[in-house]
């Protein structure tokens, strides 16, 4: 939890865009003051999630502040912290904390229309993606492809301009496993476009999903007798995973 707490606090510290700068009289007053953000920071540090969520949700509902993106990501951080806390009292009080974290993260992305804020929360989104990836893999193992598909779809919906090649890849594969072949191919086309450089520049969590995705997809296609297509996925990611022993072992087996 210490790593998660540091990540959340780092994000909260960076959402204070006005600290250290004097405001000119002619400048437009911010919709949410630095003082209000500081209060939310203190509530997060003290793990007073009830008060934090109450204050933050008011900002998302009031006409003057409902289009400010940061309250949404603050709520996502709080819900995610609750979901990962292991605190039975909090988890009983907020049984949907994990799904609410995803919901408000997606709302934040929509509100951050010019992508001016999301870069401040890269660490938080990587932590959330990791949790979503683990959740999806459990559904895949249980052959609950529709549930896994929902996780992968939310992953690319969280990305700037939906540019998350590994998530698109696995979204397509889940469609394929659910016998939605036409939709699967459309998703794979998007994945190939985004992975045209082999996956360079991805975050570590995305690279982990890429490795899992190409192995799972290649083996699924090979099992259906589509060896050419299976090899193509492995070869596509050669620039980033060409030296990975597991990936290369799958390629040799095809």
Q: Kindly report, residue by residue over 120-151, the tens digit of the pLDDT.
A: 999 999 999 999 999 999 999 999 999 999 99
Query: What confidence tens digit (pLDDT) does each residue in 58-117 have?
Result: 999 999 999 999 999 999 999 999 999 988 999 899 999 999 999 999 999 999 999 999
pTM: 0.88
- Which of 73, 56, 80, 65 lies closest to 11, judged by CA? 73
Predicted pLDDT at 27: 57
Predicted pLDDT at 253: 94
Structure-token pair, residue 57: 């949700």
Q: What is the mean pLDDT of residues 13-36?
A: 59
Query: What confidence tens digit (pLDDT) does each residue in 151-191 have?
Result: 999 999 999 899 999 999 999 999 999 999 999 999 999 99
- Is residue 238 scored above 80 in pLDDT? yes
Type and span of the H or E element at 70 = helix 70-84
Predicted pLDDT at 127: 96
Phi, psi (deg, nearest 5) at residue 197: -90, 10
Task: In whole angstroms, give the CA distance from residue 223 to residue 75.
Answer: 43
Q: Kindly tell me the burial class for residue 243, based on how many C-beta atoms sit within 10 Å of its own C-beta (0-12, 13-18, 19 or more).
A: exposed
Out of 1.10.760, 3.30.110, 1.25.40, 1.10.3470, select the CATH number for domain 122-254: 1.25.40
Q: What is the mean pLDDT of residues 35-54?
A: 91
List the single range of 6-10, 135-139, 214-218, 228-232 with lowest mean pLDDT. Answer: 6-10
- Is residue 14 scored above 60 in pLDDT? no
Q: State whether residue 156 is helix, strand or coil.
A: helix
b/e map of 159-171 (b: 16 or more CB within 10 Å)?
beeeebbbbbbbb
Task: In whole angstroms, give the CA distance from residue 120 to residue 158.
Answer: 14
Q: Report the sign of the C-alpha dihedral through residues 49, 54, 55, 58, in that order.
A: positive
Residue 37 pLDDT level (bands cut at 50, 70, 90) = confident
Looking at the chain, which residues constitute the CATH 1.25.40 domain(s)?
122-254
């Amino acid at each position: 939890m210490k790593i998660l707490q540091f990540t959340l606090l780092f994000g909260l510290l960076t959402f204070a865009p006005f600290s250290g700068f004097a405001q000119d009289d002619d400048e437009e007053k911010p919709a949410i003051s630095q003082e209000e953000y500081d209060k939310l920071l203190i509530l997060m540090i003290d793990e007073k999630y009830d008060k934090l969520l109450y204050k933050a949700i008011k900002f998302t509902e009031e006409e003057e502040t409902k289009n400010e993106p940061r309250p949404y990501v603050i709520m996502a951080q709080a819900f995610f912290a609750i979901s990962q806390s292991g605190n039975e009292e909090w988890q009983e009080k907020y049984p949907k904390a994990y799904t609410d974290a995803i919901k408000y993260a997606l709302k934040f992305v929509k509100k951050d229309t010019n992508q001016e804020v999301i870069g401040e929360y890269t660490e938080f989104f990587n932590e959330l993606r990791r949790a979503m990836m683990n959740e999806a893999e459990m559904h895949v193992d249980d052959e609950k492809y529709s549930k896994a598909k929902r996780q992968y779809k939310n992953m690319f919906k969280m990305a700037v301009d939906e540019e998350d090649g590994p998530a698109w890849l696995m979204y397509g594969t889940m469609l394929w496993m659910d016998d939605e072949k036409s939709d699967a191919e459309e998703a794979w086309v998007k994945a190939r476009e985004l992975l045209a450089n082999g996956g360079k520049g991805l975050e570590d969590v995305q690279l982990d999903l890429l490795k899992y995705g190409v192995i799972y997809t290649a083996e699924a296609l090979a099992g259906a007798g589509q060896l050419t297509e299976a090899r193509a996925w492995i070869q596509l990611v050669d620039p980033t995973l060409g030296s990975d022993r597991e990936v290369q072992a799958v390629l040799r087996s095809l």
